Amino acid sequence: MNPLASGPYIATSNAFRSSTSLQEVLVPGSAVSALGSYTFYACSELSSVKTNTNEITIGTYCFGNCSNLKYVSIPNLKSINTYAFTGHSSSKPLSLDFSARTVDYVPPVQSNSFANAVSSIVCIVPSKMEQQWRSTDVWSTFIDNNIVQLSSVV
């Protein structure tokens, strides 16, 4: 059973914190508008999170210390708060897939959103928006410092 199948609501702070059984999450349709602080913090088996259409904000420490997280698809990401992906330590890169965006702005991100991430982070963006991502202050710093690798798709 998908724990986020009904809504609309905000996935509250600490909702699934430190879960050892949660592996994949699908957020359907317009069920959720925000993933609150610490929502998935230290979910050791979480590997994939996918959302559909809503603009979603990622809260502080939302995916912090999720050691197996490999894929997050949030096409219409609204923003990423502080330490959202801190401590990402999987041996495989973390792919953040924004390629199906239907909104034409680069989502704001805090300068410490990826603090202490030891594996690479790949952001997949629509090719028509790649230059916008590269020229946005905080995103360009992540790209220039090899914290985030940008990949684009048509």
Q: Which of 119, 63, 67, 121 lies closest to 97, judged by CA? A: 121
81-117: per-residue pLDDT in tens?
Answer: 999 998 877 777 889 999 888 888 899 999 899 888 7
Residue matched to tokens 């991502």: 133
Q: How many angstroms separate the CA atoms of 33 and 24, rounded?
A: 18
Domains of the chain: 9-153 (3.80.10.10)
Q: How many angstroms separate the CA atoms of 126 and 100, rounded?
A: 7
Question: Torsion angle of alpha carbons 30, 34, 36, 42, nearest 10°?
Answer: 70
Least confident range of 68-77, 80-89, 142-151: 142-151
> Could you give the percent of the chain with pLDDT greater than 90?
39
* 95: Cα separation from own chain's centroid: 9
